[in-house]
């Protein structure tokens, strides 16, 4: 019987995860198929319960379910528990186990694609959702000097900052984490000190999206990262390029976090270079 994998989120039409995983499956000759499932918040309990009922082997979890999905799972691995968000679920012996590969996927892209390290750096993270949570904690564990969580909703950003500071204390990690509203006039001062800017929101998928902050805050001292991969060059990255900043798109994070999920489900290594070539070909069409 064919093993079923998939991804849940809302909206889901933009995702390249099916192309990525099905390319790897075909290349390795595995009896799997990976499908997208559009799931609204109000249908989460039904959807997660259905994984067991249908015998679906594993799924990825994307916006907006990475945190809320935890309450429907039987257990978590140490990384997902530490982060407080899940992007990968595996059905094991009739139980659903949650994992998080986002932070490690971003870190690998940062090191390989941008040839950059977080250690000692001042970092601004835009957004406070599940991806922000995973990336911020990973950057803290990599001994970043400081992390600023800049979010539209101050309360949500503050909650995340408190969470990360508590985790840093547990691990004896000396990284200063602070939250600030994207509307705060002092944001520009943090940009002047920042080395790395990371957009973890979905702003940028559409070129006409209202900017999260004034682009003239960007300078040539910055590495600007966007976890959005479609389009491959978002408005934020275009503005970074114009201002002489280095930039990193979200394709690497997509592939590296996906390769970790793929190994969890199948036990096989994803053929990363083959997958990257196929995704780049598709992205240049659109």
Q: Considering 40, 66, 97, 111, which one is annotated as catalytic?
A: 66
Residue 242: exposure state from Cβ atoms within 10 A (0-12, 13-18, ≥19): exposed
198 touches 144 (CB < 8 A):
no
18 touches 34 (CB < 8 A):
yes
Q: Which residues of 69-86 are buried (b: 16+ CB within 10 A; e: fewer)?
A: bbebbeebeebbebbbbb
In whole angstroms, give the CA distance from residue 88 to residue 139: 20
- Helical axes 251-266 vs 272-285, angle rounded to 10°: 130
Count of CB atoms within 10 A of residue 168's CB? 19
Q: How far is CA 283 from the centre of its chain?
A: 19
66 is a catalytic site residue = yes
Residues annotated as catalytic (active site), given as ranges:
66
């Amino acid at each position: 019987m064919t093993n079923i994998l998939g991804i849940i989120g809302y909206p889901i039409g933009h995702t390249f995860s099916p192309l990525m995983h099905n390319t790897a499956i075909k290349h390795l000759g595995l009896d799997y198929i990976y499908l997208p499932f559009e799931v609204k918040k109000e249908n989460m309990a039904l959807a997660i319960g259905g994984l067991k009922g249908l015998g679906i082997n594993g799924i990825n979890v994307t916006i907006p379910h990475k945190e809320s999905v935890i309450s429907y799972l039987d257990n978590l691995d140490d990384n997902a528990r530490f982060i407080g968000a899940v992007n990968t679920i595996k059905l094991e012996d009739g139980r659903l186990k949650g994992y998080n590969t986002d932070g490690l996927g971003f870190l690998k892209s940062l090191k390989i694609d941008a040839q950059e390290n977080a250690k000692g750096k001042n970092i601004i993270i835009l957004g406070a959702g599940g991806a922000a949570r995973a990336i911020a904690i990973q950057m803290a564990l990599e001994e970043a000097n400081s992390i600023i969580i800049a979010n539209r909703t101050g309360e949500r950003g503050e909650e995340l900052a408190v969470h990360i500071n508590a985790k840093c204390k547990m691990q004896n990690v000396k990284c200063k984490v602070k939250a600030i509203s994207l509307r705060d006039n002092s944001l520009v001062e943090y940009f002047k000190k920042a080395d790395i800017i990371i957009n973890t929101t979905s702003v940028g998928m559409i070129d006409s999206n209202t900017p999260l902050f004034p682009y003239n805050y960007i300078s040539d001292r910055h590495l600007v990262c966007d976890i959005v991969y479609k389009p491959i060059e978002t408005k934020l990255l275009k503005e970074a390029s114009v201002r002489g900043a280095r930039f990193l798109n979200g394709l690497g994070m997509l592939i590296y976090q996906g390769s970790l999920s793929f190994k969890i489900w199948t036990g096989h290594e994803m053929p990363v270079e083959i997958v990257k070539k196929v995704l780049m070909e598709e992205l240049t069409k659109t």
